[in-house]
Amino acid sequence: MIKQSMQDAINQQIVREMYSSNLYLAMSAYFAKINLNGFANWMRIQAEEEMLHALKFFDYVIDRGGEVNIGQIASPKHDWNGPLEAFEDALKHEQLVTEWINGLAELAVQEKDFASSSMLNWFIDEQVEEEATTGEIVDRLKLVGDSKSGLFMIDSELKQRKKAPVAPAK
Ligand code: FEO
């Protein structure tokens, strides 16, 4: 049985992952509006991945005999001043998510909750990848600067990103 403190913290993280999903969906809509459909595709898939993260925590609480409580999800920002600003926001957000995951990992150690530590190791590794991927796009956007052809080249690459596999229902 999961301890109340860990359950509360994971329930809070479920909401944060759902917020992340909505934030990236809002970014996807923004990119679609300015006709950068590769960027829109990348963000839409990112939004789906965040929902899978929420579901991973959701399933974990249930598997441990806990209770899921979905709290209120704040409305994300809807407009950005260009792709660089949007991706810089995404990177800042991922850095924040890493802090939240680290906080959860710290709590699991304090509570001697080894099952939660093991589950959270997946998220610790995932955050390394999330920050690296988003950071790489920020760097490339800085590199192309005002070049329209550079921007369209990145856009066509981001169009190649494939949909994440759907989590099986329990
Ligand atoms: Fe669920 Fe992008 O971290």
CA of 90 to the centre of ligand 1 (A): 10
In a domain? residue 170: no
Question: For 85-133, how does the pLDDT look when each residue is reduced to its tens digit (9 = 90+)?
Answer: 999 999 999 999 999 999 999 999 999 999 999 999 999 999 999 999 9
pLDDT confidence of residue 168: 61
In a domain? residue 169: no
Is the minimum distance from the CB of 104 to ligand 1 under 6 angstroms?
Answer: no
In a domain? residue 168: no
Question: For 3-34, how does the pLDDT look when each residue is reduced to its tens digit (9 = 90+)?
Answer: 999 999 999 999 999 999 999 999 999 999 99
> CATH number of the domain that 58 lies in?
1.20.1260.10
In a domain? residue 166: no
Decide: 43 and 31 in contact? Cβ < 8 Å: yes
pTM score? 0.95
Domain span holding position 106: 4-158
Decide: 115 and 64 in contact? Cβ < 8 Å: yes
In the chain, how many domains are there?
1
Atom of ligand 1 nearest to the CA of 17: 1
CA of 3 to the centre of ligand 1 (A): 24
Is the minimum distance from the CB of 20 to ligand 1 under 6 angstroms?
Answer: yes
In a domain? residue 25: yes
Q: Looking at the chain, how many residues does it have?
A: 170
